[in-house]
Amino acid sequence: MHGTEQETDHGVKTMALAEIELPLDRNGLPEEVATFLREADERIDDYVTRNAHEFTGFVASNYETIFYALRAISDRGLTAGHSFCEWGSGFGVVAALAALLDFDSCGIEISRDLVDGARELVDDFNLPVEFVHGSFVPHAGVAQAEQACAERSSEQFWLVTDADDAYDELGFDADDFDLVFAYPWPGEEPVINELFDAHAAVGSLLLTHTQFDSVMLKRKVS
């Protein structure tokens, strides 16, 4: 493991995030997972087609890769507990995959349409996942996120902060989760790291999907 360094306007800031190597076993996709992903893909394709006239801000992850990553995390016992949250959950596919791996799973999403779609999807598969509408930026991190967006050009970011208090509705705080997943937009990853570094619990994990269909796993170490 090695610490994460990040350039700021004042030099290099060392965050309390240590990258963890996560070899993925890409064999043996369970049939229930394959069935779920086929249905999710169909619903996502339909959503994209219906909304082709507007930019929704929704981009699907490589869900098989994410499943293998979540399975590796679970099999290796890397989390302190079983609580999982998907930041920007979209159709809720990753949160659902976490539930299939016995995590206590939830998702936070800014689009009400996507929240509705995610709830319908997990209900149809009887998966115990809770989705709430709002911003995944913790209340205490609003000023931090807004400053970061201003410094890096806000048009590149979907870190909406003027929204419902999602954590209040969930009954949890950002530091209650053992594992958080996010799929940052290009240029957004430093802000995601900053928010996680500032507000997650020591020992918790941040799993991110990159633009190259790979994953990165980091632990908050201090």
In this structure, what CATH number is given to the domain that contains residue 119?
A: 3.40.50.150
Determine the Cα–Cα distance for residues 180 and 215; give it in Å rounded to an integer: 13
Mean pLDDT on 105-115 = 95
Backbone angles phi, psi at 23, to 5 degrees: -65, 135
Model confidence pTM above 0.85: yes
Name which of 44-48, 66-70, 114-118, 160-164 the model is least confident about: 160-164
Does a structural domain hold residue 82?
yes
Q: What is the pLDDT of residue 123?
A: 98
Does residue 10 belong to any structural domain of this protein?
Answer: no
Structural domain includes residue 8: no
Give the pLDDT band (50/70/90) at residue 157. Answer: very low
Distance CA 64, CA 32 (A): 13
Q: Is the pLDDT of residue 44 over 70?
A: yes
Does residue 9 lie in a domain region? no
In a domain, 216, yes or no: yes
**What pLDDT was estimated at residue 23?**
94
Number of domains in the chain: 1
Q: How many residues are recorded in the chain?
A: 222
In a domain, 155, yes or no: yes
Domain assignment of residue 20, yes or no? no
Domain-located, residue 3: no
Q: Is the dihedral of CA 107, 185, 80, 142 positive or negative?
A: negative
Full domain range(s) for residue 41: 28-220
Distance, in Å, from the CA atom of 145 to the CA atom of 206, rounded to the nearest integer, reads 17
Bridge partners of 129, per DSSP, are 105
Measured N-to-C along each axis, helices 112-124 and 31-50 cross at an angle, to the nearest 10 degrees, of 150
Compute the mean pLDDT over every residue in the chain, rounded to the nearest whole number: 87
73-91 pLDDT tens trace = 999 999 999 999 999 999 9
143-167 average pLDDT score: 66
What DSSP state is assigned to residue 136?
S
